[in-house]
Amino acid sequence: MSITATPDAAPDDGPAPDAGPVRKPPLRKPAVRKRLVPYWLLLPGILWLLIFFAAPLIYQASTSVQTGSLEAGFKVTWHFQTYWDALTEYYPHFLRSVLYAATATALCLLLGYPLAYLIAFRAGRWRNLVMILVIAPFFTSFLIRTLAWKTILADSGPVVGALNSLHILDVTSYLGITEGQRVLATPLAVVCGLTYNFLPFMILPLYTSLERIDPRLHEAAGDLYARPITIFRKVTFPLSMPGVVAGTLLTFIPAAGDYINAELLGSTDQKMIGNVIQSQFLRVLDYPTAAALSFILMAAILTMVTVYIRKSGTEDLV
Partner 1 sequence: MEARHGPESLSPPQIAAMRRSMTSGRMALTRRSLLRAGGAGAVAVGGLGALGGCGIPPAGRTEADNASDDHSAEEKRLAFSNWTEYMDTGKGGRHPTLDAFQRRTGIKVKYTEDINDNVEFFGKIKPQLAAGQDTGRDLICVTDWLAARMIRLGWIQPLDPAQLPHAYTNLAKPFRTPDWDPGRAHSYPWTGIPAVIAYNKKATGGRKVTSVSQLLDDPKLKGRVGLLTEMRDTVGLTLLDMGKNPETVTADDYDAAIARLQKASDRGQVRRFTGNDYTGDLTKGDIAACMAWAGDLIQLQSDNPEIEFAIPDAGYMTATDNLLVPSKARHKRNAERLIDYFYEPKVAAKIAAYINYVCPVDGVREELAKIDKALADNPLILPDEEMAAKSHSFRSLSSKEEAAFEDKFAKLTGA
Which residues 246-305 are close enough to bind partner 1 by CB under 8 A?
246, 264, 267-271, 275-276, 278-287, 302
The rounded distance, in Å, linking the Cα atoms of 44 and 313 is 30
Q: Does 52 bind partner 1 (CB under 8 A)?
A: no
Counting Cβ atoms within 10 Å, is residue 70 exposed (0-12), middle (13-18) or buried (19+)?
A: exposed
Q: Report the residue number, 12 or 214, with the smaller CB distance to partner 1.
A: 214
Q: Which of 121, 131, 150, 152 touches partner 1 (CB under 8 A)?
A: 150
Considering only residues 64 to 123 of the shown chain, the ones binding partner 1 according to CB under 8 A are 65-66, 68-76, 78, 93
CB of 4 to partner 1, least distance (A): 39
127 vs 234 by CB, closer to partner 1: 234
CB 272 within 8 A of CB 259: yes
Residue 149: how many other CB atoms lie within 10 Å:
21
| Phi, then psi, of 68 in degrees rounded to 5 | 145, -160
**Residue 193 contacts residue 146 (beta carbons within 8 Å):** yes
Q: Which is nearer to partner 1, 37 or 70 (CB)?
A: 70
Query: Residue 31 or 220: which CB sits closer to partner 1?
Result: 220
Instruction: Identify residues 230-249 at the interface with partner 1 (CB under 8 A).
Output: 234-235, 239, 241-243, 245-246
| DSSP-derived secondary structure letter, 65 | T
| Nearest approach, Cβ of residue 7 and partner 1 (Å) | 35
The length of the chain, given as a count of residues: 318
Residue from 108, 184, 191, 202 that binds partner 1 (CB under 8 A)? 184
Q: Least distance from C-beta 281 to partner 1, angstroms?
A: 7
DSSP string, 260-281: HHHHHH--GGG--HHHHHHHHH
Nearest Cα neighbor of 31 from 47, 56, 14, 17 is: 14
Q: Which of residues 198-237 bind partner 1 (CB under 8 A)?
A: 205, 208-209, 212, 214, 220-221, 224, 226, 234-235
Choose which of 185, 203, 297, 301 interacts with partner 1 (CB under 8 A): 185
| Of 26 and 90, CB closest to partner 1 | 90
Q: Say which amino acid occupies 302.
A: L
> Closest separation between CB of residue 205 and partner 1, Å?
6
* Interatomic CA distance for residues 139 and 234, integer angstroms: 38
Q: How far is the CB of 137 from partner 1 (least distance, A)?
A: 20
Largest CA distance in the chain: 94
Decide if 189 contacts 172 (C-beta within 8 A): no
Count of residues near partner 1 by CB under 8 A: 74
x/- track of binding to partner 1 for residues 153-172 (CB under 8 A): -xxx----------------
Residue 106 CA: distances (Å) to CA of 1, 91, 246: 67, 22, 13
Instruction: State which residue, 74 or 121, has the beta carbon closest to partner 1.
Output: 74
Which one, 170 or 286, has the nearer CB to partner 1?
A: 286
- CA-based angle 263:268:273, to the nearest 5? 60
Decide whether 8 or 223 has the Cβ nearer to partner 1: 223
SS3 317: coil
